[in-house]
Structure 1
């Protein structure tokens, strides 16, 4: 029941924000009209009072936008469903991320409209609010990801969501914003597939010990690979470009390392002839990941 109430409150806050932004845009447009008119001194003195009123209303609306966003940020902080949603969603873009980005895009649209009319202190304040909310979201995602016990899933979640934020901002503004998603991709690779590749030893031992260690390591690698694959098979990367890039990064790290290892140890060829362990088969499996 409380979850339903929280959803209703969030929706109402979002509707309130959109309403205030719509009024803000109308006031900015009206202010532009009254400011750009070339009038006689007598009429201009009359309209100056209207302009002053519109400026005060625009400033008041700007403060309302800031307070509404603060209320929304508080709701996001108090939402205790993050851990469950991250696990249930397989690390994909969280509903709260989409919601906050919808708010940011709405503010960006209002800011663009007000700047096209007449740049003002209020439009500058709106720009500041956009930056504050964007940085807040980045920090929120990192904090909420700490509730995830599976580090691989945690970094996949951060990768998906940080990429989504950067993509939406770029699409809406035409400007690229620095994003942590490359860092999160590296972290994901390290804590998941890096562990799989670590099963292959780098040390060389002479004679029978060398052969025994390599055969044992190969078995450990295959076991770790299939275990990781099964654990992540249903995880999701919704963006096609990011999904393809992540698959290629895994293949480059794991399959390339695996091939190099087999080339260095041709005596293991008889052990990888099975369908479940050849580099080609493992690579094909990796290309199936992240469809959800």
Structure 2
């Protein structure tokens, strides 16, 4: 085995060592012990920045001091110089190792938010056209679709954006969060001082990208660990939230680092923060880039949220950078935004094709009863979801350079509703069992539903204009009149004796009463969800039936006790129409 450092081999004659060589030998021994077994020791500093190995730090300082004192005396100068250079390199590597272990950032205050975001349910479905199972799941999740779960700032009560997470989307919250470990910053100054003396700053710069940062990495870990275990929608929602949080966290970290006491690390802190930020931002961008190949229109709303989150975060993030690094991040971000925009234009076309090509199933209960068809509900839910992203969609659609009216959200909504109406009108033979009153009731219900949802959705009514709404109201009036004439006209016609010529008034009254009862029992089961339209329909039917019945009774005073219904009985009975109840009292 070779001789130990500083001790000559037996039988070998060597020149006496100088004091400097003795000092170097001792320092080499301490450093080589670490070099041979890296990680075996607990480091120079512990997690709390306290000293755990002062001897190793003393060896580093001794090597650096020897290097500063100048050349070794002859005759061993060249050999000692090589040994000293090697020892300085080992000392610098030791400092870099310590840098990668020092705890500068404290993410403990964020642990609750990280855990809640990781465990949070996916919440309400924001798929443009969710399946029946997804609709039921969303309904059981809770809040009626009023919360955009991709934007926690809208509601802190959302099941998918817990309170702790939603709070972090407020920039002011970060003013009160202590993210930095001051003792750890003091260690950075100690390390920087020695790295500078060793002349190995480039080695430290290279290590910055791998510097630990619990504040940011705790949120990124949600994406890394759970990506394969979650649906596309869940991953996109988490990415959107994490991107917003990281953007605010980096700004807060910069402010808090600059507020620390000055020291040797001050000359490195800009590069340090930029490297940390660039590394984490590139991770987020890589995730976003992985979704640019998605073109399923079902995911449109989630992709819009991702696009907006990246667009909103980019300006503040780019402020951190300059020069080539800023240009690189900017080009990378813009490239992903361009690809996302292209994917979403394909998705918009898919939404239109879905609405215009969907077959109306004859087995849909609400359609068979003249109620609101599920396609109309899905279409208007789609309009409401897209309206929340009007500015973004206008920008994306306009950038496509399209010459048609779909170059804006207004054009898309107008075309989408027009396609829905053509679909409903063109396939009524499938959707409704008969072409009489059910047809008009079906159309009145669906047009009223669309009109009501347009009025209730912020910004959509102004997109379509007053003339558009007026035309729909006129159509509803026409369908109400046609429904009354088609369904109740034949019943009232039974009271017209000259036309009927069927004999005795008592027989005519009996035929009318039987027909009225049948029609009333049939129509009470029809569903008209809109209370205003329901009242209008009831009034239209009552205005047609009750006056004719009263006139008949006035012309036949001898009928007396054979009258089954009084005029008030008829009016009361008609006031129960369109409740959507089957004969056994259950909702259809």
TM-score interval for Structure 1 and Structure 2 normalised by the shorter chain = 0.7 to 0.9
Length-normalised TM-score, structure 2: 0.40
Equivalents in 1 of 2:537, 2:337: separation in Å?
49
* Equivalent pair of 2:341/2:396 in contact (CA under 8 Å): no
Structure 2: runs of 5 or more not aligned: 1-129, 136-232, 234-295, 320-325, 400-405, 581-588
Cα 1:155/1:8, change in 2 over 3 Å: closer
Q: What is the root-mean-square deviation of aligned Cα atoms in Å? A: 3.9
Counterpart of 1:182 in structure 2 is 477
* Equivalent pair of 1:89/1:236 in contact (CA under 8 Å): no
Q: Is it true that 1:278 corresponds to 2:566 in the alignment? A: yes
Counterpart of 1:121 in structure 2 is 398
Equivalents in 2 of 1:7, 1:269: separation in Å?
60
Equivalent position to 1:222, from 513, 516, 524: 513
Measured after TM superposition, the shift of residue 76 of structure 1 is 2.0
Pairing of 1:8-23 with structure 2 (within 5 A): 15-23=298-306
Return the index of the structure with the highest Cα Rg.
2
Q: Is it true that 1:191 corresponds to 2:474 in the alignment? A: no
Pairing of 1:238-257 with structure 2 (within 5 A): 238-257=529-548
Pairing of 1:135-150 with structure 2 (within 5 A): 135-147=418-430, 148-150=432-434
Measured after TM superposition, the shift of residue 247 of structure 1 is 0.8
Any idea what the Cα deviations from partners look like across 1:182-224, whole Å, max 9, x if unmatched?
222122111101111111227499xxx89x4544433332222
Pairing of 1:43-122 with structure 2 (within 5 A): 53=335, 56-57=338-339, 59-73=341-355, 76-77=358-359, 82-86=361-365, 90-112=369-391, 121-122=398-399
Aligned to 1:261, the other structure's residue is in SS state helix
Counterpart of 2:153 in structure 1 is none
Equivalents in 2 of 1:237, 1:158: separation in Å?
11
Aligned to 1:84, the other structure's residue is in SS state coil
* Equivalent pair of 1:156/1:184 in contact (CA under 8 Å): yes
Any idea what the Cα deviations from partners look like across 1:227-268, whole Å, max 9, x if unmatched?
2112222221112121112111111111122223333x1xx2
Residues matched between the structures, number: 269
* Equivalent pair of 1:159/1:181 in contact (CA under 8 Å): yes
Any idea what the Cα deviations from partners look like across 1:256-288, whole Å, max 9, x if unmatched?
22223333x1xx234264563211111111111
Equivalents in 2 of 1:247, 1:112: separation in Å?
42
* Equivalent pair of 1:91/1:160 in contact (CA under 8 Å): yes
* 182-191 or 54-63, larger mean C-alpha shift: 54-63
Any idea what the Cα deviations from partners look like across 1:127-160, whole Å, max 9, x if unmatched?
3221111111111111232222322222222211
Counterpart of 2:579 in structure 1 is 291
Q: Is it true that 1:153 corresponds to 2:444 in the alignment? A: no
Equivalents in 2 of 1:184, 1:24: separation in Å?
43
Measured after TM superposition, the shift of residue 18 of structure 1 is 1.9
Length-normalised TM-score, structure 1: 0.74
* Equivalent pair of 2:370/2:438 in contact (CA under 8 Å): yes
Equivalents in 2 of 1:64, 1:203: separation in Å?
64
Any idea what the Cα deviations from partners look like across 1:77-120, whole Å, max 9, x if unmatched?
3x5xx2221477622212222112111211222115666xx797
Any idea what the Cα deviations from partners look like across 1:50-85, whole Å, max 9, x if unmatched?
8975774464144123233145336623x5xx2221
Aligned to 2:358, the other structure's residue is in SS state helix
Counterpart of 1:258 in structure 2 is 549
